[in-house]
Amino acid sequence: MLSEELFSSVCGPPIAANTAISKDVGIYAHTVAPTWAVKSSFKKSSAPVHCLALSDSHVYAAQDQKAHVHVYSRARGNQEALVPFQERIRCLALAGDVLVLGTAEGRLILWETCTGRQITTPPCHVQAVSCIVASPHHVLSASDDSNVNVWSLPRLLEPGQDIGHEPDRTLSNHRAAITDLVLGPGSNPETNLCASASKDKTCILWNYQTGQVLRTLLFPASPLCISLDPCARALFASSEDGSLYLVELFGDKPLLGPRSTELASIVVQINSPLGVADADAGPASCMAVSYDGASIVTGHVKGKVLRWNLIDNSHPTELANLNASVTNLAFAPVLSENKLSRTAAVVKPNQSQRQYTLTTQLEGHLNHDTRFHQMLNTNGFSAETIAQAVASFAGSASSS
């Protein structure tokens, strides 16, 4: 059985005078399966919502009402660096070795953690950037001004060019501040899916590369946090009244795709929640879906972490009480990405520097893959293998 590791963060003062919970701990690393336990903890952090990001080696946490980002080493379990910036950080996301930060002034700051290179855009939002998501090719920033900007990541990182400092497009169908933003796993331009939740009580599904509205969902109360199924088959939303909703996107009545019987402009009313959290837990401020999509973990403003089992649809079970508002939940990847290099240390950003040094550690074998290894990683038989087989048959027939 694969071991799941869940990271959580808290922000704000302790809710009760509980001496069993340390006041200095701001980030927890929990083992979810096979048993729930605290694996490690990181001190002196107060990360608000959307201010926690994970890499294979580090944890990045922006601090509440400050222009600081704390960098923690996952291997050593301590704080490695305190990185100051010029503006207060409201949210952040990690795209490979690039940490993308949204500021209270509506700017984006990109920090290459392996070289220290820093890129700052002009104010791209009228109000503060509330949440950011990133893919290998795109960055999406949402704001309290109700807009979502779609950026090309390669253009933002292009050296010596300011052309990338303007978003590719703006998604502007919401009428109130955006509370959460999630990105689908697909990379095909026809199936690029993202979902945005807003205080206008709606959640909109977009094709963010074309700017097309795929579906608008209307909830009884404002959705505070949302998440997509690992295969983007369903949308989970938790509202300010403590209700958790499950919206099937490709069920008996598909909401997306060619089998959908209604036009994309028709708003779908969502009324029946999957469940409602107890009043002593309060509304959920963050959520995370397990890697198999069988359970959901929600973090609540009154310090509780609840798990919802989707298999039997039972009442949520309490996993922990962290005695402070739970602001972020993130599952660490079960299978680490196969990288050919690993950054040795995090380099603090330097905006004035023009030459950068990259120090990295090469991983694995440096030799080229063998022909047998290439055949194992090819779907079916490659064209080269078929051509060689046909040539060998032709040669054996002529010789006989």
Lowest mean pLDDT among 125-129, 227-231, 360-364: 360-364
Residue 368's pLDDT is 62
Q: In whole angstroms, what is the distance from residue 225 CA to residue 283 CA? A: 10
Confidence of residue 383 (pLDDT cuts 50, 70, 90): confident
Distance of CA 355 to the CA centre of its chain: 31
- How would you classify the pairing of strands 212-218 and 267-269? parallel
Q: Comparing C-alpha atoms, which of 306, 303, 304, 301 is closest to residue 285?
A: 301
Distance of CA 343 to the CA centre of its chain: 21
Mean pLDDT over each residue of the chain, to the nearest integer: 88
Half-sphere exposure in the Cβ direction for 30 (13 Å, CA): 22
Burial class (CB in 10 A: 0-12, 13-18, 19+), 387: exposed
Q: In whole angstroms, what is the distance from residue 15 CA to residue 230 CA? A: 33
Q: In whole angstroms, what is the distance from residue 32 CA to residue 38 CA? A: 9
Residue 369's pLDDT is 67
Q: In whole angstroms, what is the distance from residue 62 CA to residue 86 CA? A: 13
Lowest mean pLDDT among 41-45, 68-72, 305-309, 354-358: 354-358
Residue 90's pLDDT is 96
Residue 221, pLDDT above cutoff 80: yes
Residue 104, pLDDT above cutoff 90: yes
Residue recorded with tokens 């660096």: 81
- How would you classify the pairing of strands 325-331 and 341-343? unpaired
The pTM score is 0.87
Residue 122, pLDDT above cutoff 80: yes
Half-sphere exposure in the Cβ direction for 236 (13 Å, CA): 24
- Backbone angles phi and psi of 164, in degrees to 5: -80, 0
Q: What is the pLDDT of residues 232-261, one digit of tens each?
A: 899 999 999 999 999 999 888 899 888 888
- Token pair for residue 302? 């009154």
Q: How much is the CA Rg of the chain, to the nearest whole Å?
A: 23
- Region of 238 (left: φ > 0; alpha: ψ -120 to 50; beta: rest) is beta
Contact 107, 95 (CB under 8 A): no
Confidence of residue 364 (pLDDT cuts 50, 70, 90): low
Residue 331, pLDDT above cutoff 80: yes
What letters, b where the CB count within 10 A reaches 16 and e where it falls short, cover 13-37? eebeeeeebeeebbbbbbebbeeee
Q: In whole angstroms, what is the distance from residue 180 CA to residue 171 CA? A: 14
